[in-house]
Every structure is written in C-alpha cells, then in structure tokens.
Amino acid sequence: MLKKRLIPCLLLQNGQLVKSIGFKEYQIVGNPKIAIQFFNAWAVDEIIFLDISKTGDYTTLLRKDYNYKTLENIEDIIKESAKICFVPLTVGGGIKNIGQMTELFKSGADKVIINTEAFRRPEFITEAAKKFGSQAIVVSIDAKKNVKGEYEVFIDHGQEATGVGPAEWAKKAGLMGAGEIFLTSIDKDGSLQGYDLELLKKVTEEVKIPVIACGGVGKWQDLVDGVNVGGASAVSAANIFHFTEQSTKQAKKHMKDAGLDVRI
C-alpha cells in the first residue's frame, strides 16, 4: 500500500506567496523561495505551486524595505525552487497547452496541474498524458455547493459555474488520462474548519486514481480525517503552514500517531 502524503500548497499571485479565503480574499504572506527552504528542511512529501494570478487584478503592496527579489513568472519560481528543493514539485495555474507544460517540466516541475482548460477541452488531458505520462498530469477540481445545495464544479478561479458534479467530472478526468485529482472545496477554503468530507467522499468513491484533498485545514486531526473519513490518498493545506514553525513535522507526527502510514 502506498504511503499517505502530506503536501503543502503554495498559492502565488504575481510572484508572491499569498493565503486565500473562499477564493475571494488574499493576503501576502511572503516570498516563495523562503517557504521552499523551510518545507525542504521539514521533509514534506511533495510541494504544490498554484499560480492564481489574474491579469490586471493585483497590485503589489510590499513594504519599501522588502528585501527579497520578486520573481516575475512561474517558470523562474520553479527554476529557483528546484535548485534547493529535493521533493517533487507540482505546478499549476493557467496552463492551456503542451508548450506551457514543456517549459514547466524543463524548469524543474515533476507534475503539472490543469483545471479550466481541462474542463473546457477534456481531450487536453489525453494529449498531455500521452506526451508526458499520466503520472505527471493532475486535474484540479474546485467545487462548492450551489443554490440547490448540490456540489458543482466551478472553473476560472472558482468564478464560473459549470453545472457538472465533481464526482462525475473526476471520473471522466481519470478516464481521459489524469493520474491524480487535486480536489479543493471553495466553501472551506481558508475557513480552518476542516475538509469538506462529504465532498471528498463523493469523489474518492467514484474514482480509481489518487485524490489529493485541499481546503479548510485548521488542525492536524483534519489531515487524518481527510484520509480515514474522506478516503484521500494525500492531504494538502496552505494557510496553516505559513504561521507555525516546523508545522509539517508536527503534522506528520500526528498522522503517524493516528495510525496512518506516512514517511517520517
């Protein structure tokens, strides 16, 4: 049986590390290169970079005495990170073609995450899997409950409703060649209230490929519940790791003490 993975998710907006709440509010928390140095030392299993930048929607509010260079694009960030990082790097955000993927892999990415383009053009998943292998292709699914109280997939930074259920889409993505699903609850994002376990179970029960849970972690037990209750193969979080020293080591210890098979 494969070990359960702990994966920090780093959200990037115009080259800066941010934390997110509900896919609507963002707060600058630092420089991604510094975060990588910490996570690399703390022995996580993988690191996810998601570039959530939107053209024209963001103005830097850095203090004038900010001393770290802000890298200008995701390729530069991955190149810098790959120099100091010794765990797999998974990268996503705005990927629309094979050429962009090729550049990310050349820069040091081990896997790529696709979301909106994959939904709009499912054959893109197959094209990517044939080119790079299914193990390198992760389909990201952002979902929340709609006005009817039903789970629905949202694309384009969580702003566009699709009318499609996340379990249905996850199953199709797997059949099209995806190697993993990265599932985020928009409702739980930044809430610190734990994963949406109902959503997670609906998806993990439908697919045969690994599912990475994300959105809502506020305590270490949430990671355990993501695996034991939600059925996730890996658990990811963002906000909780930014403000607790050596937090990934503490998280791993809690997971191991709860009986999960994790790499220490």
The number of folded domains in the chain is 1
Residue 39: give its domain's CATH number.
3.20.20.70
Q: Using 50, 70 and 90 to split pLDDT, how confident is the model at 13? A: confident
Q: What is the pLDDT of residue 211?
A: 98
- pLDDT of residue 245 exceeding 60, the answer is no
Kindly report, residue by residue over 17-53, the tens digit of the pLDDT: 787 787 777 777 767 666 666 666 666 899 899 988 8
**Residue at 142 is within a domain:** yes
Q: How many CB atoms lie within 10 A of CB 97?
A: 12
**Residue at 143 is within a domain:** yes
Looking at residue 211, its amino acid is V
**Residue at 80 is within a domain:** yes
**Residue at 122 is within a domain:** yes
Q: What is the pLDDT of residue 58?
A: 37
Sign of the Cα torsion 252, 253, 255, 256 reads: positive
Kindly report, residue by residue over 105-142, the tens digit of the pLDDT: 999 999 999 999 999 999 999 999 999 999 999 999 99
Q: Using 50, 70 and 90 to split pLDDT, how confident is the model at 2? A: confident
Count of CA atoms in the C-beta half-sphere (13 A) of 59: 1
**Residue at 104 is within a domain:** yes
**Residue at 76 is within a domain:** yes
Q: What is the pLDDT of residue 84?
A: 78
Kindly report, residue by residue over 87-105, the tens digit of the pLDDT: 899 999 999 999 999 999 9
pTM for the whole structure: 0.90
Range of the domain at 52: 5-257
**Residue at 264 is within a domain:** no
Residues 6 or more apart in contact with residue 200 via CB below 8 angstroms: 183, 185, 211, 213, 226, 229, 230, 231, 232
- Compute the average pLDDT of residues 145-172: 96
**Residue at 262 is within a domain:** no
Least confident of 105-119, 167-181, 198-212, 250-264: 250-264
Q: What is the mean pLDDT of the chain?
A: 87
Q: What is the pLDDT of residue 39?
A: 63
